[in-house]
Structure 1
């Protein structure tokens, strides 16, 4: 399997050192560079063209979300994983809108981070389950009419699977919970992404949370 070429962007040397030590013995990853500012990150991305940038949203010279936006706009082949200590709802939504492929908290353990990187290497998108709950709270005031419009093109089964995606569950977990095969779930996910007009699971999760899919499903159950 091709090694995933990584660039770390964080203004804290200790964080960079910790990530370096975590990744150095992993044969599937190759650390190609480190940056401590947004400007330096953009220069290195242009020169090194990494597969993935691990990016802190709080940088000394620029807003990390805007750095993410510029990276994804100028170098669409490079994916961005937001790694931060701040589960701030505003930053989460802005980062997803800026094209981030994932959002993981620094409080996550080393195993969780490696699993997130491995998922990104497989072309999946990652959203920390803790974050999904916070984003959900931000959109509690959306109206029922808006929710109905948001999910009108999805079948009941597709809505259930979308809700599980919004909870941060993997295809395997969804398959086990809904008594489906992983292949069937993958097919459903592709259909859902197409119907919603989004490109990956993170965007689908953000869409679902924004339009309060869990409230929508509860309302459907109450009405039936």
Structure 2
């Protein structure tokens, strides 16, 4: 399901996504209130949600939908990359945060990721979270939990994920298929008992596997 107040954006996105046979668009909405009402009728598995919509905005709609139907995955697609939006959206229960400047392939990758129960963040968003963590601005850094050791390849994949690379980019760098990278990603999450991208980033930073340039 697509929720965006711009008709051209909704129609364009729908047309592109319908070229992927595994995806089915069950409905469209143009504001938060309409989205909530349609969710009751259509019961979509995933909602692609804009933040800035008239009436009830995407943030409030996400909170309301997750409260009523926690099994529904919500992928935020927006032009906003400010930290105030990032953390509010992640706290609202959204499974992913994608910038509108992203390519359609990345959107489809994000849809598949949240469908598997994982989180997905655009590379610029991942970078922002890393910088915020290193700068000490997060209130809760989380503790290091016991986990199974990662293989050399899994550690390599995790480092690239934490650096903000997409699965497609990692696959190219390591001369592997995107499907193989997604399998590694799932194994990493299972071994570390971490179920979102922000947690993977924190884990990599805690172990010094990711270097962040300070401005």
State the match for 1:132 in structure 2.
126
Distance 2:30 2:135 in 1: 38
Change (3 A) 1:168 1:101: farther
Contact 1:101 1:126 in 2 (8 A): yes
Higher helix share: 1
Choose from 188, 199, 208 the match for 1:207: 199
RMSD between aligned alpha carbons? Answer: 3.4
Matched, 1:84 2:78: yes
State the match for 1:4 in structure 2.
none
Change (3 A) 1:77 1:12: same
**Partner-residue secondary structure (3-state), 2:135:** coil
Change (3 A) 1:68 1:184: closer
**Partner-residue secondary structure (3-state), 1:96:** helix
Contact 1:171 1:186 in 2 (8 A): no
Contact 1:35 1:41 in 2 (8 A): yes
Show the 5 A alignment for 1:88-99: 88-99=82-93
Report the alpha carbon displacement of residue 100 of structure 1 after superposing the two structures with TM: 1.2
State the match for 1:112 in structure 2.
106
Report the alpha carbon displacement of residue 118 of structure 1 after superposing the two structures with TM: 3.2
Structure 2: where are the runs of 5+ without partners? 211-215
Distance 2:77 2:10 in 1: 11
State the match for 2:144 in structure 1.
151
Bigger shift: residues 29-38 or 16-25? 16-25
Report the alpha carbon displacement of residue 132 of structure 1 after superposing the two structures with TM: 0.4
State the match for 2:189 in structure 1.
189
Change (3 A) 1:218 1:17: closer
Contact 1:140 1:212 in 2 (8 A): no
Distance 1:33 1:86 in 2: 24
Distance 1:101 1:94 in 2: 12
* Number of aligned residue pairs: 199
Report the TM-score, using the length of structure 2 for normalisation. Answer: 0.75
Bigger shift: residues 119-128 or 44-53? 119-128
Distance 1:40 1:154 in 2: 43
Distance 1:49 1:134 in 2: 33
Structure 1: where are the runs of 5+ without partners? 1-6, 220-224
